[in-house]
Amino acid sequence: MSTRPSARGAGALCAALVFVSVLPAQGSTTLRPLAQDRAKGAAAVTEAMCRDWLGTLASPEYGGRGTGQPGYELAAVYVRDHFQKLGLKPAFPEGSYWQALPWNVTEPKAEGTHLRLTHGGKAVVDLGLAELAGTATQEIEAKGDVVLVVVRDLEGNDLAGADLSDKIVLVHAPAGLVPKGQAGRRGNAALFRLQSALQQARARLTVFCDDELFAATGKVQGASVPGGGGANRAMRGRDRRPVSLTVKTSVLEKALAAAGKTLENVAAHAGLVDLAGLQADVAVKVETRQGPAYNVAAILPGSDPARRDEYVVMGSHLDHLGQRGATLFPGADDDASGSTGLMAVAAMWARNPVKPARSLLFVAFTGEEMGLLGSNHFVENPPIPLGSIVAELQMDMIGRDEEGQDESADANRNTLHLVGTERLSRSLHELCLARNEQHFGFALEYDEEDVFSRSDHANFARKGIPIAFFFTGFHRDYHQQSDTPDKIHYAKLLKVATYVYDLSFELAQAKGRPLVDPDLWEKSRKGLGRNVPEKPVAPLAPAKGG
Ligand SMILES: [Zn+2]
């Protein structure tokens, strides 16, 4: 495993920034205790507190903190209350700690929702919301002729060439619609392909008739999607999941009986079965409201009139994958660990007698797992001028020891990835190395630059704000149900948080602020994504030889 600490030009840059410390030789140093001016704060947060905060955020009650889901609201309240208790100021207008990301939560309503089948004008079935399952990401209104499709091949090949235009399609698979071994799983790839094949055949509405699928889905699911302009084109305001309903097989039996058929005699078919005279009237009413999708942020105002309009920003993402059908993703490391780190740094500052000269902003982003949506919304609608942000320090997955094909967790007990620090500002990079060298002694790694665009700091970097991303590496529980609090390395999490606290202390108290190196900006800006300004919002360093 290689570490590439680059100590080039360290001394000069630090002096320029009036930071303390001269870099000792790598690996031989005895770590020094933190300076008096910040030691009290650092000592105010314990591993037990981190265990408590993370345990709460990653608890089943918080439902994996899915953006737009009830569990996210609990987490946003929890972090807000933490900031409030520390006496930190609300960061957003009207005294709010929350910045709402436009988020549409669509929920089906019982009133006005029904599925009625008639034959020759006579009622066959009349179902309400409770007897329906499926996905309704928007209102459903469908009336018309009913046909049956008997599916033998879930890939939808039985439908080849079928024209189902404007038909309401009952779908039955004698072998079942939930592939073996996938019982309880709501969505499965095969079903998705079958739904797409039915949509291609221009089915007006699909109604699956299957007890196992009905049990797996359990109710009509609404949608929880970004609203407004924040989402990428594919996601904007509409969920791309095909609209479909699921009913119990007994409903199909009643429909077939009305058309003079039975399950046994249609089971021999494959493809289209005509159910002459059978009509359907289907309506699913939904209500759409703003869902719980908030960036949660607080400010510790600076004390120096000359510098308090400049901000050191510390970030994490509060959301995770949430609840997906019956599956809950706790996200203990991703990113309850970073949000715990954020809560820890905020507490360290609040408990430290020496106050910052510059102001500090602590922000837990929403919508990260969906494409960095919360931090995108933040930098496009910033509560403070972007140019006033001297750096963004991002903590995402700081609670584990990296493990991979040829790496064991035991070999990485003290490893930390430093990502993106060399992209914009050499002085910020050098500061990170110097503070680590003196006080923390992490085995810093730089071989994860490919994750540069995969967490919220990326939205700050693309505006030209120096960033540092702290990440302890991937492991087998990444984005799994098994990413649980019992696997967290709490001593390491607290050490990473203390490192970030120390760096923020240096950035808050220093005379100068990290400048963006013109050559680095030119080199980086092409790979930073959309809406990258010509010039960085942070001040540029004088060009070399200029
Ligand atoms: Zn993450």
Kindly state whether residues 347 and 215 are assigned to the same domain: no
Do the domain assignments include residue 42? Answer: no
Could you give the C-alpha distances from 50 to 78, 290, 321, 401, 505, in angstroms and in order?
A: 14, 31, 21, 17, 20
CA of 398 to the centre of ligand 1 (A): 10
CA of 172 to the centre of ligand 1 (A): 40
Could you give the C-alpha distances from 490 to 71, 93, 347, in angstroms and in order?
A: 23, 35, 16
Amino acid found at 102: P
CA of 174 to the centre of ligand 1 (A): 42
Kindly state whether residues 461 and 367 are assigned to the same domain: yes
Kindly state whether residues 226 and 146 are assigned to the same domain: yes
- pTM for this prediction: 0.83
Q: Longest Cα pair distance anywhere in the chain, in angstroms?
A: 91
CA of 396 to the centre of ligand 1 (A): 5
Structural domain ending residue among the three candidates 243, 261, 290? 290
Whether 372 contacts 456, CB under 8 Å:
yes
CA of 517 to the centre of ligand 1 (A): 28
Which residues, 6+ apart, have CB-to-CB distance to 429 below 8 Å? Answer: 6, 418, 421, 422, 468
Whether 210 contacts 150, CB under 8 Å:
no
CA of 337 to the centre of ligand 1 (A): 9
CATH of the domain at 155: 3.50.30
Give residue 267's pLDDT. Answer: 82
Kindly state whether residues 218 and 97 are assigned to the same domain: no
For helices 47-57 and 490-509, the axis angle rounded to 10 degrees is 100
CA of 455 to the centre of ligand 1 (A): 6
CA of 133 to the centre of ligand 1 (A): 32
Do the domain assignments include residue 173? Answer: yes
Angle at 428 between CA 29 and CA 33, to 5 degrees: 35
Can you say whether residue 528 is alpha, beta or left, with left for phi > 0 and alpha for psi between -120 and 50 degrees?
alpha
Kindly state whether residues 336 and 220 are assigned to the same domain: no
CATH of the domain at 458: 3.40.630.10
Do the domain assignments include residue 138? Answer: yes
Kindly state whether residues 89 and 167 are assigned to the same domain: no
Strand runs labelled E in 477-526: none
CA of 395 to the centre of ligand 1 (A): 9
pLDDT tens over the chain, length 546 residues: 766 555 444 443 333 333 344 444 445 567 899 999 999 999 999 999 999 999 999 999 999 999 999 999 999 999 999 999 999 999 999 999 999 999 988 889 999 999 999 999 999 999 999 999 987 778 889 999 999 998 877 666 667 777 888 889 999 988 888 766 655 554 567 777 888 888 888 888 999 999 988 888 778 878 888 876 544 444 444 455 567 899 999 999 999 999 999 998 888 878 888 888 999 999 999 998 899 999 999 999 999 999 999 999 999 999 999 988 778 999 999 999 999 999 999 999 999 999 999 999 999 999 999 999 999 999 999 999 999 999 999 999 999 999 988 889 999 999 999 999 999 999 999 999 999 999 999 999 987 788 999 999 999 999 999 999 999 999 999 999 999 999 999 999 999 999 999 999 999 999 999 999 999 999 998 888 777 888 999 999 987 765
Kindly state whether residues 150 and 254 are assigned to the same domain: yes
CA of 5 to the centre of ligand 1 (A): 25
379: Cα separation from own chain's centroid: 17
Closest to 17 measured CA to CA, from 361, 311, 431, 418: 431
DSSP structure class, residue 543: P
SS3 91: coil
Kindly state whether residues 209 and 309 are assigned to the same domain: no
CA of 185 to the centre of ligand 1 (A): 24
Kindly state whether residues 278 and 321 are assigned to the same domain: no
Do the domain assignments include residue 538? Answer: no
CA of 335 to the centre of ligand 1 (A): 5
Strand runs labelled E in 191-339: 205-209, 220-221, 223-226, 244-247, 271-290, 294-300, 311-317, 322-324, 327-329
Give residue 128's pLDDT. Answer: 95
Residue 229 CB: number of other CB atoms within 10 A?
A: 11
Structural domain ending residue among the three candidates 232, 255, 290? 290
User: To which residue do tokens 């205790």 refer?
Assistant: 33
Give residue 191's pLDDT. Answer: 79
Do the domain assignments include residue 478? Answer: yes
Kindly state whether residues 83 and 130 are assigned to the same domain: no
**Which residues have beta carbons under 5 A from ligand 1 (an ion)?**
334-335, 396
CA of 425 to the centre of ligand 1 (A): 24
CA of 88 to the centre of ligand 1 (A): 25
Give residue 194's pLDDT. Answer: 83
Give residue 46's pLDDT. Answer: 98
Cis ω for the linkage preceding 456 (within 30 of 0): no
Do the domain assignments include residue 21? Answer: no
Do the domain assignments include residue 532? Answer: no
Whether 182 contacts 321, CB under 8 Å:
no
Angle at 324 between CA 320 and CA 328, to 5 degrees: 65
Structural domain ending residue among the three candidates 266, 290, 314? 290
Domain around 341: 10-16+52-101+293-400+413-527
Kindly state whether residues 189 and 276 are assigned to the same domain: yes
Kindly state whether residues 350 and 269 are assigned to the same domain: no
Angle at 513 between CA 510 and CA 519, to 5 degrees: 145
Q: How many structural domains are present in the chain?
A: 2
Do the domain assignments include residue 211? Answer: yes
CA of 319 to the centre of ligand 1 (A): 8
Whether 344 contacts 325, CB under 8 Å:
no
Length of the chain equals 546
Give residue 404's pLDDT. Answer: 87
CA of 331 to the centre of ligand 1 (A): 8
